[in-house]
């Protein structure tokens, strides 16, 4: 497989994942205070929403790149 085909498939898969999940979340640890040997850390849950138009755009762009990858030989 050449690079265009792989890029097209990755864009399609990422677009599908963003469309069906709607986003992703992760946890972030931050140090709030440090007093000698004592350390106060806070775990925050962050979420990132992926708009449906961005997911559909990634899938469309992936399809175009995939077709270009098959035409170029």
Alpha-helical (H) ranges within 1-73 are: 3-21, 52-71
- What is the reported pLDDT for 14? 92
pTM: 0.69
- What is the reported pLDDT for 73? 62
Cα atoms in the 13 Å half-sphere on the side-chain side of 17: 7
- What is the reported pLDDT for 36? 83
The answer, yes or no, to whether residue 1 has pLDDT greater than 80, is no
The residue with greater pLDDT, 17 or 31, is 17
Element (H, E) at 40: strand 38-49
C-alpha 50/C-alpha 48 separation (Å) is 7
Tell me the pLDDT tens digit for each residue of 21-59.
988 889 998 888 888 888 888 999 999 898 999 999 999
């Amino acid at each position: 497989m050449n690079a265009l085909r792989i890029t097209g498939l990755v864009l399609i898969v990422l677009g599908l994942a963003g469309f069906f999940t709607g986003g992703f979340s992760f946890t972030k640890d931050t140090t709030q205070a440090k007093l000698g040997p004592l350390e106060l850390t806070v775990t925050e849950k962050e979420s990132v929403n992926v708009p449906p138009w961005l997911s559909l755009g990634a899938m469309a762009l992936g399809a175009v790149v995939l077709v270009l990858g098959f035409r170029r030989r």
